[in-house]
Structure 1
Amino acid sequence: MSVQAYIGAFVVAFLLWTLVSSRLSSTRSPLSSVAGPQKDHWLTGNLHRLFKDGLEYSFDLFAKYGSVIKVHGVLGVRADQLLVSDPRALYHILLKDQDVYQESDMFIMTNRLLFGEGLISTLGEQHRKQRKMLNPVFSLANMRSLLPTIQPIADTLFEHLRGELPEDGSTKEVDILPWMARGTLEYVGRAVLGISLDMLDTMKSDKYADAIRTVAHTGLKVFFLRPLVPMAMRHLSPYWRNKLVDWLPFPALRELREISYVLERSARKVFLERKAAMQDELDSDVGDKRDLMTIMLNANMSTSEHERMSEDELVGQINTFLLAGQETTTTALARILYILAREPHAQARLRTEIRKAKKQYASEQGLEEDWERVNLPYDVLVHLPFLDAVVRETLRVYPPTSMLNRTCTKDAILPLQFPVRSTAGEEVTAIHVPAGTNIIMSILGSNHEKRVWGEDASEWRPERWLNANGERIGFGKNVDLAFGEESVGQDVEGSPGFRNGVKYPGVYATMMTFLGGGRACIGFKFAEMEMKQIISTLACQLHFSLPSAANCDGVKKEVYWRMDGLQVPVIRPPHGDLKTMQCPLDVRLVRNSDFL
């Protein structure tokens, strides 16, 4: 028998042992009173349906069972999990009792293997220390100073898109997804590292950039192996872990290992080069650098030795910054452009607002005749009312990441804002959560909760963020600035997402897209700035519409957004296979008639 066969037999035996032991050790699930759908299969449960084009399935569950639902994982009764979108429950999970509800070992250890000891790979005091150090890096002051250095990227992106269009101004179908991916990666390269990754030059290739771009999709190919990572990390030395990767019949696993090597070597090389430059008193240019890595290194050197991050932690932050938002920002940008193509009046209104702002700013700077080339400063860009409403509403209705996990580390009581019905039909206002229970926080369900967002919660309506005069409404001055519990209670009653004293603990406009609490997305302000800058540049100069291409039967090409954890665009048959990610839109240069 081959080595691979022995390994396969061992894995099967382990899974069978887990199944049998779980059934022998408990005949009744601790969550047996929590209502939810029946298992699709005694072995596989039904959890997988949330991750296989699970949008409609998720909405059906929320409509039938409410904001806390029991779902079944693999291998028996101990695999029962909670799907949660209740605002009070999420407040406890993310804020009040965040030390009880932790990231899972599987999540932490997988990230540590791939990306190093960055924010998404640490827990407890180490994570709090890192967060305390890094919060100021993403301050508004740093965003303001960073924007001018990355603004040219959007202009270059526009030039590349314009280069694909006919010279006569007619329409051409363009797959915008790869261009958004290239643009966002170039943004984080310039912003984080202070260098160009040449992502907008299709003739060039960079191993570091390629690793960043492919790690997520490669990881999905061996996603089913993630539960084995904690066991391997605890019981096997690096030598035997590498041997196991060599032996297992999964080429993607070996590819992922090589990607992790590239990420670590590249990040460490960049770190050491920047550190040496900063220590060189003759390097007069360093003081002018405003990239996030320079800001982070300066902050780290200026703090006490006890609070200082190690070299491994700093290297881990580089990869974390580069990787954390690249995929989600790409799909968010593609979604915004897709919606603007679907909603031509909203597109024209947005374009008109941007033109008006550019003309006004150009006039103030004495550049009236050159207004089209003007780049809006940070405080003008981020406060354009309709642009802000479009970005917020898109991130609310269509969050790029639909769900995230936590593990309950000890027995706890989870209070509910909205009571649910037990399996016996009784009203339940709190749920006993046993230690070890996996909790799936539904960002999608939270952002579509009608009792918080209104009966039209699932409708894309950017006007909900504006008053009758078209101005932004309903936010306390620090609502988008604070991290964690400090942001709670600063919104205005009656504003979007704040109804009858109830709201979600989200760090961004109360929605859950960027989460909340001590593990909220630290770079959400950068992501918002990046999206607004790209959209304002493209929408002012390009017109987008849905694909008009049709086959011989007159069936037009249709973009479909598939939810597999992430929401990604694919093409329906007969033009597509519902698998290959792409977002084709008809694009042309803007005409005068495209403004209101």
Structure 2
Amino acid sequence: IDMLHWMSRAALEMIGRSGLGYSFDSLDEGGKPHPYSVAIKQYLPTVSEFHFCREYVLPKLRQFLPPRVCRLALDFIPYKKLHKLRDVVDVMHQTSIEIFEAKKKAFEEGDRAVRAQLEEGKDIMSILIKANSEAAEGDRLSDEEVIAQVPFRTFTFAGTDTTSNALSRILLLLSTRPKVQDRLRAEIAEAISTYGEDMTYDELVSLPFLDAVCRETLRLYPPASLSSRVARRDVSVPLSTPIKGIDGRKMDSILVPEGTKVYVSILNANRDSTLWGPDSYEWKPERWLSPPPQVLTDARIPGVYSNLMTFFGGGRACIGFKFSQLEMKVVLSTLISQFRFSLSKEIEWKMTGVATPWVKGSSVPKLPLTVELLEAV
């Protein structure tokens, strides 16, 4: 069974329900993925081929040409990959508009069922539409601004690929480590016996080994291994250890001028052996069952999550990192308690914006695993 396929569909559906109050997928075996789901999976591999253009060409064009002109020009550029990217973006944008417009229209026209759903809904889109309708005229967001907020551009897109691929990574790791898989299954089974199948948030997040498996995977294999930021002002960045400059003098800080683009290696920060120890490149969930090394605590890693840079830090850290963790634990507790996973083919991971599994020698991303239904106890 291609678990990447199912993790992608499940991740989008959970975000759709909680973020938009909208169902993208019934998750039936015979059903097809929603076009939005297909577009999301194609976006990063496609856009990664235009890195140079995005970084250096497009910013210059924007200085002289309005976005609408740039968009129209795409149709006349004879390059199939560029047209594919255009089509992918169009599907994502149009789906976002359709969902928003349908809810807004029903709300404005007094559709009682939809209005009741929006009034009672806890999803982000319902809260946004309701709050925006009650705001003073001068404080209201435009439709485009609402669409550009968390649900469509940030929450839905950014949270689907990263979470589904992280879940795929965990399933692959457990498939090659049956003892770890059995240990996790035993913990989940005990929790279900104690709390029941529908565990509360507090009950689910209190499972120590499940938490350790998630944390260790996000440490060693962050879905995105690199990120960048642009300095908004001149700043002197202190160094944890002094280095020797080209003139031979020791430096304990580096001046970063305003406008400088700084690339941060999430992967190297999470695997630094001076912080995590000599086994920093090994997947060991049990390291999270004891207090972290003092040197790690003293380093004050600026990430928002577990001394890691996986979800980055600061004002532009991942806003959905708590939701992502919960999503992973819900899926894992459901699957591991009912199925046994084992490896069926050799898998390699490629970095196409987000680390993605491929069958070795294949041309499309997949994660085929052997899945066995466990006998009911």
What's the TM-score once normalised by structure 2's chain length? 0.89
In 1, the alpha carbon distance for the partners of 2:106 and 2:357 equals: 42
Q: What are the within-5 Å matches in structure 2 for residues 402-421 of structure 1?
A: 402-421=225-244
Does residue 513 (structure 1) correspond to residue 310 (structure 2)? The answer is yes
The runs of at least 4 aligned residues of structure 1 exceeding 6 Å deviation read none
In 1, the alpha carbon distance for the partners of 2:87 and 2:297 equals: 52
Does residue 287 (structure 1) correspond to residue 119 (structure 2)? The answer is yes
Q: CA deviation at 1:336?
A: 0.4
Question: Match for 2:350: what amino acid?
Answer: R
Q: Which residue of 2 aligns with 1:428?
A: 251
In 2, the alpha carbon distance for the partners of 1:231 and 1:334 equals: 38
Q: Which moved more, 1:247-256 or 1:399-408?
A: 247-256
1:438–1:588 Cα change, 3 Å: same
Q: 1:543 aligns with which of 336, 340, 344?
A: 340
Q: CA deviation at 1:322?
A: 1.3
**Helix, strand or coil: the match of 1:429?**
strand
What's the TM-score once normalised by structure 1's chain length? 0.58
Does residue 455 (structure 1) correspond to residue 278 (structure 2)? The answer is yes
Q: CA deviation at 1:299?
A: 4.0
Q: 1:272 aligns with which of 85, 91, 101?
A: 101
In 1, the alpha carbon distance for the partners of 2:105 and 2:264 equals: 43
1:571–1:261 Cα change, 3 Å: closer
Question: Match for 2:119: what amino acid?
Answer: G
Q: Which residue of 2 aligns with 1:315?
A: 147
1:529–1:457 Cα change, 3 Å: same
Which blocks of at least 5 consecutive residues in structure 2 are unaligned?
none
Does residue 380 (structure 1) correspond to residue 203 (structure 2)? The answer is yes
Q: Which residue of 1 aligns with 2:12?
A: 185
**Helix, strand or coil: the match of 2:152?**
helix
1:498–1:584 Cα change, 3 Å: farther
Q: Which residue of 1 aligns with 2:328?
A: 531
Does residue 244 (structure 1) correspond to residue 73 (structure 2)? The answer is yes
Q: CA deviation at 1:221?
A: 3.5
Q: Which moved more, 1:262-271 or 1:375-384?
A: 262-271
Q: CA deviation at 1:567?
A: 1.9
Q: Which residue of 1 aligns with 2:62?
A: 233
In 2, the alpha carbon distance for the partners of 1:570 and 1:465 equals: 29
Q: Which residue of 2 aligns with 1:343?
A: 177
1:433–1:558 Cα change, 3 Å: same
Does residue 327 (structure 1) correspond to residue 155 (structure 2)? The answer is no
Give the CA RMSD over aligned residues.
Answer: 2.5
In 1, the alpha carbon distance for the partners of 2:294 and 2:329 equals: 22
Q: CA deviation at 1:528?
A: 0.7
Check whether the contact 1:271–1:315 (CA below 8 A) recurs between aligned residues.
yes
Q: What are the within-5 Å matches in structure 2 for residues 548-563 of structure 1?
A: 557-563=345-351
1:448–1:589 Cα change, 3 Å: same
Question: Match for 2:187: what amino acid?
Answer: E
**After superposition, what is the alpha-carbon deviation per residue over 1:136-169, rounded to whole angstroms, capped at 9, x for unaligned?**
xxxxxxxxxxxxxxxxxxxxxxxxxxxxxxxxxx
In 2, the alpha carbon distance for the partners of 1:305 and 1:534 equals: 42
In 1, the alpha carbon distance for the partners of 2:136 and 2:239 equals: 42
Check whether the contact 2:19–2:156 (CA below 8 A) recurs between aligned residues.
yes
Question: Match for 2:178: what amino acid?
Answer: P
1:425–1:237 Cα change, 3 Å: same
In 2, the alpha carbon distance for the partners of 1:212 and 1:300 equals: 28
Kindly name which structure, 1 or 2, has the bigger radius of gyration based on alpha carbons: 1
Q: CA deviation at 1:441?
A: 0.7
Question: Match for 1:259: what amino acid?
Answer: V
Question: Match for 1:508: what amino acid?
Answer: Y
Q: CA deviation at 1:452?
A: 2.3
Q: Which residue of 2 aligns with 1:390?
A: 213
Question: Match for 1:217: what amino acid?
Answer: P
Check whether the contact 2:45–2:352 (CA below 8 A) recurs between aligned residues.
no
In 2, the alpha carbon distance for the partners of 1:307 and 1:394 equals: 43
Q: Which residue of 2 aligns with 1:583?
A: 367
**Helix, strand or coil: the match of 1:545?**
strand
Q: CA deviation at 1:529?
A: 0.8
Q: CA deviation at 1:426?
A: 4.4
**After superposition, what is the alpha-carbon deviation per residue over 1:258-285, rounded to whole angstroms, capped at 9, x for unaligned?**
3333333322222232234444373334
In 2, the alpha carbon distance for the partners of 1:564 and 1:205 equals: 21
In 2, the alpha carbon distance for the partners of 1:306 and 1:422 equals: 54
Q: Which residue of 1 aligns with 2:27?
A: 200
Which has the larger helix fraction? 2
1:382–1:306 Cα change, 3 Å: farther
Check whether the contact 1:212–1:322 (CA below 8 A) recurs between aligned residues.
no
In 2, the alpha carbon distance for the partners of 1:179 and 1:384 equals: 24
Which blocks of at least 5 consecutive residues in structure 1 are unaligned?
1-173, 363-373, 468-473, 475-494, 548-556
Q: CA deviation at 1:526?
A: 0.9
**Helix, strand or coil: the match of 1:181?**
helix
Q: CA deviation at 1:442?
A: 0.8
